[in-house]
Amino acid sequence: MSKIKDVLVPDIGEFDAVEVIDVLIKSGDIVAAEDPLLTMESDKATMDVPAPFGGTIKDVKIKAGDKVSQNDLILTLAVEEESVDATEKINQENTVSGVDTEVKTTNSETTTAETVASTAIRRPPPADMLVRHKEFLQAHASPAIRKFARELGVDLSKVSGSGRKERITKEDVQEFVKQILSGAASGNTVAAGSGIPDMPEIDFSKFGEVEIKPLSRVQKKAGVHLHRGWLNVPIVTHHDEADITDLEYFRKSLKDEAAKQKVKVTPLAFLLKACAVAIRLHPNFNSSLTADKENLILKKYLHIGVAVDTPEGLIVPVIRDVEQKGLLELARELGDVSERARNRKLKTEDIQGGCFSISSLGSIGGTSFTPLVNAPEVAILGVTRSRMTPVWSGKEFLPRLMLPLDLTYDHRVIDGAQAARFMVDLCQILGDMRRMSL
């Protein structure tokens, strides 16, 4: 026997009048428990509302563009009474326990995270895995991922998403579980493998007036990625400088031609092209280590990431197939992705697949720095402001425009001699543009 149940907007934290951006169902649809019903978006998060029961949609009460708050009616659902009773019983048990700590392995393909979690059956979870209900609902994840996270006892508000629009994936949850359980096993709650205790919390307000400014989502995500890279990648930085006097003269000569095509040619376009040529001569720079650290994956394609300074923090969009493109085409793509990065209009594919990265501070200043490798890449090139320098020609000192370059690399893949040879070749290519066509 079926009965009609109202489905209401759940507790969504401190938000009110949240916009519905997508209604995923219609009258007559049959849904299962946890199937997504609609997607809401606040100024801080995008969240899906799952079906609390399985059944048949009778009447949808909202549409895309509506503003909703907690307990507003979403739709009516015809459900079997047995299904309602069973689901309500489960919900009550979960509310009492706070988190379901019993994880069942279902097949031989159970992942490492699930296997580790299953060994902790009926043990109280670490403090970092206690789920805070409001933050859990606000996390950017699908109902299936929310269910998976509940099974593992993961607080989604603490997981950084790697999917489209920073959506949390199953792999993100698994990685979080591995880090937490590894830390708990060693008596620590810090990131797995770090062995580093947390910094003590200090009340700075007792020394004077302070202001709390939340980190942007980009900064939070980048922070996790960079910290993981810093702990896992043994890095070395090689410093050198290239004579770009002739290159700069040629770049300026392209100004009128580039203007006709509505393109601004910056030194970065030349750097992209020069790096592509140098990497072709040194293929280890276009590689990644396998997960077991036993083999090297040599890539036959070459996509280069370029760090862009945005109000939200540094973002690294990727220029694809660099070696197949000319200078003007590269300049056009650089301008396009940089503008879209600053306007938060990058697509998922714009930030994936990088093989090598360039971080340029040329427009700001500096003489050298150590950029961090954007793992799983194995090298990154840092660039600072060029400067006119007297250079000895063998007979006299001549004014030459020199460009400081800083190559940071993964020492497990690239040794010092390889790095030095790469930089010698790169400097020669930048010093004589004819080498770009070889």
287 DSSP β-pair partners: 298
In sequence order, which ranges of 186-295 are alpha helices (DSSP H)? 217-232, 245-253, 255-260, 267-281
Write out the two tokens for 53.
């029961």
Q: Is 227 helix (H, G, I), strand (E, B) or coil?
A: helix
Query: Which residues, other chains included, contact 42 with Cβ-Cβ below 8 Å and sequence gap of 6+?
Result: 12, 15, 18, 19, 138
Q: Which of 133, 225, 238, 411 is catalytic?
A: 411
In angstroms, the CA 80 to CA 110 distance is 32
**Looking at this protein, which amino acid is placed at residue 41?**
E
With both helix axes pointing from N to C terminus, report the angle between 416-431 and 267-281 in degrees, rounded to the nearest 10.
130
Q: What are phi and psi of 192, to 5 degrees?
A: -55, 135
Tokens of residue 219, six digits: 């900064």
Token code pair at residue 3: 């009965």
Q: What is the DSSP letter of 177?
A: H
Is there a catalytic annotation at residue 227?
no
**Does an H or E element contain 89, and which?**
helix 81-97
The position carrying tokens 């004819």 is 434
220, amino acid identity: K
Cα-to-chain-centroid distance, residue 361: 21
Contact 404, 239 (CB under 8 A): yes
Which residues are known catalytic residues? 411
